[in-house]
């Protein structure tokens, strides 16, 4: 057996080999040592006698899935090796073979939450002409292919797709290897294929680009070699170009929290969380795809909007469609299971129930007044025949197992009906026998029973044992309070019943497979229907979200880049606030305004305002309505961001380096048609460097790039740039101070902010009183030095060493020292009604401290 093991292991050196031995899957050698550690298994040895015992660890076969998943989740591969013949019937060594290689990109997790996620395997080929990339979700069989110019573009796609595994044909530079490692992407070698493969020619029929073809061939080749099963559900590959869509790098998508919160990585708090009102897993997956690739074509966006509008206008149509969609299962994944041949009867019934919902949907759509909905309905083939076939073949509530009968309705197959008659007659005979034997023996509680070991028997309680006719009955089993007997007649009928039963179970399985194969013929039609229903699900979801949240339909223009959003809101922030408390804001950028320079206190809402604009742009180009009273928008080609929490882990760069790289992306690649969001650029370095860079970046964006830019900054000095830059406009988020307390207005107002209120915000955060007072004093001194006369960086140092350094001459000559003056100011500005006696005492104690410090 071990020889056979080593032979197979040789072919899968980089995978854990799960080797079936009886009821266990065993791991041997290094696999066992490593596997025992990762999976917390007991490590044993195959034989204690030999000199070099073979390490071994095993898992029970019923529980294998969870162990395999754990390993694959961690990025390993697992080769499942099965016994290919019944060990009892095998002559000599049992034949074994690999039935499936499970890899991170081909793993299919089951369960409702996972179903909403796609798991993509990506194939990349490199050649002198560039890179070809193709990816597929094995559970649905969809395939997409594109070509890209460099590895940076490839890595961006890999990250955007959240791919877990890449099949790559070229050598990797250390840098690229490092990237893939940090991004937790497993790299696999392509598998050479020989001969013709119908799957390959089928899927690549619509591809024209050579690199895309190569990548697709490599993809399908890898799937064929890892999946030792039918892949009849692979779909015709769709070619795409990144530039066909609104481009956002993976970092931008993360920063904007389109599908997951940047902090938690979870759906909650993301745009998807707010706008996903779909009822099917197919719809949820499609919406995610749309969010990653918003459209550029006004016509295509308008089509989506028309659908949403029509559903919004037709209340009953929409309600009926939604009700029916609730009964639709995951057609795309069911189709995959049909292709693999592992679909069970219950799943086929789910398919038929889903198909039965389609005519209801079509009726609802056809009865509406909207030509868009009617056209959409006319494109749909409800596949009535398939639905009928399944629902007239299978019983209503079949078991999960397909090998133990109880699947097929009466009247479907004459032979099956005959077996069933025989079984029924046999059972009738048994009932009759029981009655007759009771009469003959006078034993009232004699009964016929059945168990797996002895088959049918006659059971007599101990009290009646002496009445048993031992000339006819043979004792078979003794229980504590009863005896069991058989008779030749009973055994004869048992044989008849059992034979009918075995035959009928076998026949039922055959009939089930026939049904499954028949349904298999409809795979492409089922996939098309799945896509159509997924889209309808997203449209109705958009309708629900528009209605619930009061969104408006945005309009588009292509002749200018003017932006006009009236009373726009941030879809997520507004959702987590109490209803009505979000303050809406406008964005009005015409030809005269390319850059909005946004100032305002921390926490006032600068980031929210900028993100709000980007989210409205994305939502609009996806076809969703937007949180605003009115939105008239250009079509953006790309969005760039430099906002807070970036994905530093993957790049391995310092925060400031990430900040600069992101800024660089925008400066290099943004066009007049792009949207750029820069939040506090320059913050990560020394003040003057930061300010200088920020100023230069604003100027470059203004003069050279011309993209619509929202630029938030705490460098008030930059606000004077509006004097020289004609297309730059200052705006600020309003805040006021009332009795020493900061009140955020969250309202965007024209012009620069007058103060930064940083210390007030620090106070809100609960910083120690002493720190706040010290900061206030330093601020006053800085302001006295005159912010306009910004000197060299060393001047900053002066600030913090001012205590030790001699005070400026004019201050010394004054009668009242600045510290005393400060105390006097505070006293005269103190609003007593706002303070408790204790607070006043604390203040007086502080002043005393200040005056003491001043003397020293
Ligand atoms: N328009 C608004 N209406 C109501 N509340 C808002 C609005 N905008 C922002 N807020 C609230 O203010 C909080 C802070 O907003 P935001 O993070 O945008 O401030 P910021 O000015 O960018 O701060 P910082 O400069 O510290 O990064 C938000 O979490 C939200 O609760």
DSSP assignment of 490-543 equals: HHHHHHHHHHHHHHHHHHHHHHHHHHHHHHHTTHHHHHHHHHHHHHHHHHHHHH
Instruction: Identify which of 76, 60, 167, 57 has the alpha carbon closest to the alpha carbon of residue 120.
Output: 167
Helices 151-160 and 174-182 cross at an angle (nearest 10°) of: 10
Query: What's the chain's length in residues?
Result: 856
Instruction: Identify which of 162, 156, 132, 130 has the alpha carbon closest to the alpha carbon of residue 145.
Output: 132
Q: How many CB atoms lie within 10 A of CB 234?
A: 26
What is the C-alpha radius of gyration for the chain, rounded to an integer number of angstroms? 37
Q: Which of 608, 710, 744 to mutate to test the pocket of ligand 1 (most atoms within 8 A of CB)?
A: 608
Q: Do 359 and 382 form a contact (C-beta atoms < 8 A)? A: yes
777 is in an annotated binding site: no
Report the half-sphere exposure of 712 (CA within 13 A, side-chain side): 23
Cα gap 267→741, rounded to integer Å = 36
514 is in an annotated binding site: no
What is the Å distance from ligand 1's center to 708 Cα? 21
Q: How many CB atoms lie within 10 A of CB 533?
A: 26
Strand, helix or coil for residue 811:
helix
Helix (H) or strand (E) holding 98: strand 96-102
Instruction: Identify which of 110, 114, 113, 115 has the alpha carbon closest to the alpha carbon of residue 530.
Output: 115
Residues 6+ apart with CB under 8 A from 771: 762
What is the Å distance from ligand 1's center to 650 Cα? 28
What is the Å distance from ligand 1's center to 606 Cα? 6
Q: Do 413 and 402 form a contact (C-beta atoms < 8 A)? A: no
Question: Could you read off the pLDDT of 480-506 as tens digits, one per residue?
Answer: 999 999 999 999 989 988 899 899 999
* DSSP bridge pairs for 626: 552
Cα gap 856→854, rounded to integer Å = 5
Cα gap 522→839, rounded to integer Å = 79
Sign of torsion over alpha carbons 653, 165, 143, 286: negative
Q: Do 848 and 823 form a contact (C-beta atoms < 8 A)? A: no
Cα gap 191→123, rounded to integer Å = 11
Cα gap 623→618, rounded to integer Å = 9
Pairing, β 77-83 against β 447-451: unpaired
The ligand 1 atom nearest the CA atom of 733 = 21
605 is in an annotated binding site: yes
Is any ligand 1 atom within 6 A of the Cβ of residue 713? no
- In this prediction, the answer to ipTM > 0.95 reads yes
pLDDT value of residue 63: 87
Instruction: Identify which of 307, 310, 305 has the alpha carbon closest to the alpha carbon of residue 369.
Output: 310
Cα gap 820→818, rounded to integer Å = 5
Residues 6+ apart with CB under 8 A from 695: 715, 717, 718, 721
Instruction: Identify which of 507, 513, 506, 463 has the alpha carbon closest to the alpha carbon of residue 483.
Output: 463
602 is in an annotated binding site: yes
Q: Which of 565, 603, 749, 758 to mutate to test the pocket of ligand 1 (most atoms within 8 A of CB)?
A: 603
What is the Å distance from ligand 1's center to 760 Cα? 15
Alpha helices in 40-101 (DSSP H): 64-73
Q: Which of 586, 604, 715, 760 to mutate to test the pocket of ligand 1 (most atoms within 8 A of CB)?
A: 604
pLDDT value of residue 804: 37
List the strands of the sheet with 142-148, edge to edge: 186-188, 165-168, 120-127, 130-137, 142-148, 238-239
682 is in an annotated binding site: no
The protein residue whose alpha carbon is closest to atom 31 in ligand 1 is 573
The protein residue whose alpha carbon is closest to atom 23 in ligand 1 is 603
Q: Which of 600, 605, 713, 734 to mutate to test the pocket of ligand 1 (most atoms within 8 A of CB)?
A: 605
What is the Å distance from ligand 1's center to 607 Cα? 6
Contacts 24+ apart (CB under 8 A), 444-453: 448/490, 449/484
Is any ligand 1 atom within 6 A of the Cβ of residue 735? no
Cα gap 806→802, rounded to integer Å = 7
Burial of 37 by CB count in 10 Å (0-12 exposed, 13-18 middle, 19+ buried)? Answer: exposed
Q: Measuring CA to CA, how many Å separate 562 from each of 244, 330, 590, 629, 709?
A: 22, 42, 4, 17, 12
Three-class SS string for 436-454?
A: HHHHHHCCCCCEEEEECCC
Q: Which of 607, 616, 743 to mutate to test the pocket of ligand 1 (most atoms within 8 A of CB)?
A: 607
DSSP secondary structure code for residue 191 in this structure: -
Is any ligand 1 atom within 6 A of the Cβ of residue 756? no
Q: Which residues of 217-226 are buried (b: 16+ CB within 10 A; e: fewer)?
A: bbbbbbbbeb
391 is in an annotated binding site: no
What is the Å distance from ligand 1's center to 431 Cα? 80
Cα gap 651→251, rounded to integer Å = 11
Is any ligand 1 atom within 6 A of the Cβ of residue 757? no
Q: Measuring CA to CA, how many Å separate 29 from each of 57, 64, 79, 825?
A: 9, 19, 15, 80
Burial of 391 by CB count in 10 Å (0-12 exposed, 13-18 middle, 19+ buried)? Answer: middle
Cα diameter, the chain: 134
Q: How many CB atoms lie within 10 A of CB 203?
A: 27
Low-confidence ranges of the chain (pLDDT < 70): 47-50, 109-115, 644-654, 684-687, 740, 755-757, 785-815, 856
Is any ligand 1 atom within 6 A of the Cβ of residue 604? yes
DSSP secondary structure code for residue 94 in this structure: P
Q: Do 618 and 641 form a contact (C-beta atoms < 8 A)? A: no
Strand, helix or coil for residue 287:
helix
The ligand 1 atom nearest the CA atom of 585 = 1
The protein residue whose alpha carbon is closest to atom 5 in ligand 1 is 582
Distance of CA 805 to the CA centre of its chain: 58
Instruction: Identify which of 452, 453, 437 has the alpha carbon closest to the alpha carbon of residue 487.
Output: 437
pLDDT value of residue 90: 76
Cα gap 837→796, rounded to integer Å = 38
The protein residue whose alpha carbon is closest to atom 11 in ligand 1 is 605
The ligand 1 atom nearest the CA atom of 761 = 26
352 is in an annotated binding site: no
Alpha carbon distance, N-terminus to C-terminus of the chain: 90
Is any ligand 1 atom within 6 A of the Cβ of residue 607? yes
Cα gap 26→56, rounded to integer Å = 7
Is any ligand 1 atom within 6 A of the Cβ of residue 161? no
Cα gap 15→9, rounded to integer Å = 8
- What beta strand segments (E) does 699-758 contain? 708-712, 728-738, 741-750
Distance of CA 744 to the CA centre of its chain: 36
Residues 6+ apart with CB under 8 A from 799: 778, 781, 782, 785
Strand, helix or coil for residue 548:
helix
Cα gap 742→600, rounded to integer Å = 12
818 is in an annotated binding site: no
What is the Å distance from ligand 1's center to 162 Cα? 30
């Amino acid at each position: 057996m071990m020889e056979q093991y080593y032979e197979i292991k040789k072919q899968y050196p980089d995978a854990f080999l799960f080797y079936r031995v009886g009821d266990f899957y065993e791991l041997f050698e290094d696999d066992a040592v490593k596997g025992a550690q990762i999976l917390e298994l007991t490590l044993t040895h195959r034989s204690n006698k030999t000199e070099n015992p073979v390490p071994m660890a095993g898992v029970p076969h019923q529980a294998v899935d969870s162990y395999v998943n754990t390993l694959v989740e961690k990025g390993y591969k697992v080769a499942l090796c099965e016994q290919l013949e019944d060990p009892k019937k095998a002559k000599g060594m049992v034949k074994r073979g690999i039935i499936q290689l499970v890899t991170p990109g081909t793993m299919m997790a089951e369960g409702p939450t996972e179903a909403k996620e796609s798991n993509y395997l990506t194939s990349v080929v490199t050649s002198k002409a560039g890179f070809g990339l193709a990816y597929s979700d094995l559970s649905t069989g969809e395939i997409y292919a594109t070509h890209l110019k460099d590895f940076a573009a490839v890595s961006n796609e890999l990250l955007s797709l959240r791919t877990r595994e890449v099949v790559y044909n070229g050598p990797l530079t250390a840098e690229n290897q490092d990237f893939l490692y940090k991004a937790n992407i497993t790299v696999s070698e392509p598998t050479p294929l020989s001969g013709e493969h119908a799957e390959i020619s089928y899927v690549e029929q619509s591809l024209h680009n050579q690199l895309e073809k190569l990548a697709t061939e490599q993809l399908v080749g890898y799937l064929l070699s890892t999946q030792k099963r039918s892949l009849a559900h692979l779909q015709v590959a769709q070619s795409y170009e990144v530039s066909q869509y609104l481009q956002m790098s993976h970092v931008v998508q993360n920063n904007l929290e389109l599908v997951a919160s940047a902090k938690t990585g979870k759906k909650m708090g993301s745009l998807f969380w707010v706008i996903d009102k779909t009822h099917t897993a197919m719809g949820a997956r499609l919406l995610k795809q749309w969010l990653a690739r918003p459209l550029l074509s006004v016509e295509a966006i308008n089509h989506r909007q028309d659908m949403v509008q029509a559903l919004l206008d037709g209340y009953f149509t929409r309600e009926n469609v939604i009700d029916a969609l609730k009964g639709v299962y995951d057609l795309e994944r069911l189709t995959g299971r049909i292709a693999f041949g592992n679909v069970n009867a219950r799943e086929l019934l789910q398919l038929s129930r889903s198909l039965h919902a389609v005519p209801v949907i079509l009726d609802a759509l056809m009865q509406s007044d909207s030509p868009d909905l009617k056209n959409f309905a006319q494109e749909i083939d409800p596949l009535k025949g398939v639905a009928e076939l399944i629902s007239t073949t299978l019983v209503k509530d079949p078991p999960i197992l397909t090998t133990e009968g109880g699947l097929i309705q009466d009247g479907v197959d004459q032979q099956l009906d005959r077996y069933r008659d025989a079984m029924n007659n046999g059972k009738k005979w048994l009932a009759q026998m029981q009655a007759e034997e009771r009469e003959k023996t006078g034993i009232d509680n004699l009964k016929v029973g059945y168990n797996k070991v002895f088959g049918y028997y006659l059971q007599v309680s101990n009290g009646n044992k002496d009445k048993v006719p031992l000339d006819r009955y043979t004792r078979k089993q003794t229980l504590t309070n009863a005896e069991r007997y058989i008779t030749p007649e009973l055994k004869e009928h048992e044989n008849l019943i059992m034979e009918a039963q075995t035959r009928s179970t076998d026949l039922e399985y055959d009939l089930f497979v026939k049904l499954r194969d028949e349904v298999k013929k409809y795979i492409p039609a089922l996939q098309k229907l799945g896509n159509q229903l997924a889209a309808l699900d997203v449209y109705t979801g958009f309708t629900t979200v528009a209605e619930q949240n009061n969104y408006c339909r945005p309009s588009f223009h292509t002749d200018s880049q003017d932006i006009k959003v009236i009373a726009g809101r941030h879809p997520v922030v507004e959702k987590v606030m109490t209803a009505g408390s979000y303050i809406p804001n406008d964005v009005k950028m015409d030809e005269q305004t390319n850059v909005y320079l946004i100032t305002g206190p921390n926490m006032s809402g600068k980031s929210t305002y900028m993100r709000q604009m980007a989210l409205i742009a994305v939502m609009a180009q996806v076809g969703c309505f937007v949180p605003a009273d009115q939105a008239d928008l250009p079509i953006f080609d790309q969005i760039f961001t430099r906002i807070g929490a970036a994905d530093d882990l993957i790049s391995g760069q310092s925060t400031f380096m990430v900040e600069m790289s992101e800024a660089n992306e925008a400066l290099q690649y943004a066009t007049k048609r792009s949207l750029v969001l820069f939040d506090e650029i320059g913050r990560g370095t020394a003040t003057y460097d930061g300010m200088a860079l920020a100023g230069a970046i604003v100027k470059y964006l203004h003069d050279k790039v011309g993209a619509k830019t929202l630029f938030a900054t705490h460098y008030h000095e930059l606000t004077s740039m509006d004097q020289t830059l004609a297309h730059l406009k200052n705006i600020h988020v309003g805040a006021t101070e009332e009795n020493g307390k900061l009140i955020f207005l969250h309202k965007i107002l024209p012009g620069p902010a007058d103060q930064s209120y940083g210390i007030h915000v620090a106070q809100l955060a609960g910083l120690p009183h002493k720190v706040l007072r010290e900061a206030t004093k330093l601020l006053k001194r800085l302001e006295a030095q005159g912010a306009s006369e910004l000197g060299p960086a060393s001047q900053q140092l002066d600030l913090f060493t001012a205590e030790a350094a001699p005070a400026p001459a004019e201050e010394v000559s004054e009668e009242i020292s600045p510290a005393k003056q400060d105390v006097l100011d505070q006293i005269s500005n103190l609003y007593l009604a706002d303070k408790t006696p204790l607070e006043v005492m604390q203040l007086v104690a502080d002043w005393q401290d200040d005056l003491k410090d001043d003397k020293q």
